[in-house]
Amino acid sequence: MKHYYLIILIALLSLNLAKAETNNFSSLSKGANLIADDSSFSMKFGLLLQPRFEIYDSLNNCNCNGTQVTANAMLRRMRFRFDGFILNHNLTYFFQLGITNNDMEATKGAEGEFSSLIYDAYFDWEFLNKTKLRIGQAKLPGCLSRLMSFTGLNFLERSYAESQFNTYRDVGLQILNEWSVGDFTVRENLAWSHGEGVNQKSILDGGYAYSGRLELYPLGLFTKSGETYEMDLQNEKSPKLLIGASAFYDNKAHRERGILGKSLYSARDITQYFADFLFKYHGLSVMGEYYYRNAPEPITTKENNPDRYILNGQGYGGQISYMITEDMALALRYSYVKPDEELIKKVGNRTDYSLGFSKFIFNNKVKLQADLNYSKEEKFQKEAQEMLVFRINTIFSF
Report the alpha-carbon angle 381-307-64, nearest 5: 60
Tell me the per-residue pLDDT of 222-240, one tens digit each, with 9 for 90 and over: 999 999 999 999 999 999 9
The rounded distance, in Å, linking the Cα atoms of 258 and 264 is: 10
Instruction: Pick 2-397's CATH classification: 3.40.50.620, 2.40.160.10, 1.10.10.60, 3.40.50.360.
Output: 2.40.160.10
Residue type, 260: L
Buried b (16+ CB within 10 A) or exposed e, 186-202: ebebebebbbbbbbbee
- How far, in Å, CA of 106 to CA of 138, rounded? 14
What is the rounded CA–CA span in Å between residue 33 and residue 219?
35
Whether 20 has a pLDDT exceeding 50, the answer reads no
Can you tell me the mean pLDDT for 172-193?
A: 97
Q: What residue ranges do the domains of the chain occupy?
A: 2-397
Q: Which of 285, 142, 269, 272 is nearest to 206 (CA)?
A: 269
Higher pLDDT, 20 or 275: 275
Indicate left, alpha or beta for 78 from its phi (over 0: left) and psi (-120 to 50: alpha): beta
pLDDT at residue 24 in the model: 58
Report the C-alpha gap between 171 and 193 in whole angstroms: 5
Query: Is the per-residue pLDDT at 385 higher than 60?
Result: yes
List the beta strands (DSSP E) in the chain.
22-27, 31-35, 42-58, 69-86, 88-98, 118-128, 131-139, 169-181, 184-193, 209-217, 240-255, 263-281, 284-294, 299-302, 305-309, 313-325, 328-339, 350-362, 366-377, 385-397
In this predicted model, what pLDDT tens digit does every residue of 74-105 receive, in sequence order? Answer: 999 999 999 999 999 999 999 999 888 887 76
**30-42 pLDDT, tens digit each:** 667 888 888 889 9
Per the CB < 8 A criterion, the answer to whether 213 and 229 are in contact is no
- Report the pLDDT averaged over residues 323-327: 96
- In a 13 Å sphere around the CA of 165, the CA atoms on its Cβ side amount to 34
Q: Do 303 and 291 touch, CB atoms closer than 8 A?
A: no
| Average pLDDT for the chain | 88
Reference 193, options 209, 176, 217; nearest CA is 209
**pLDDT given for residue 14 in this prediction:** 54
Q: How far apart are CA 187 and CA 245, in angstroms?
A: 11
Q: Is the pLDDT of residue 22 over 70?
A: no
CA–CA gap between residue 344 and residue 268 (Å, rounded)? 20
What single-letter amino acid sits at 134?
A: R
Rounded average pLDDT over 377-381: 84
Nearest Cα residue to 167 out of 78, 233, 250: 250
Comparing CA positions, the residue from 365, 369, 287, 289 lying closest to residue 329 is 369
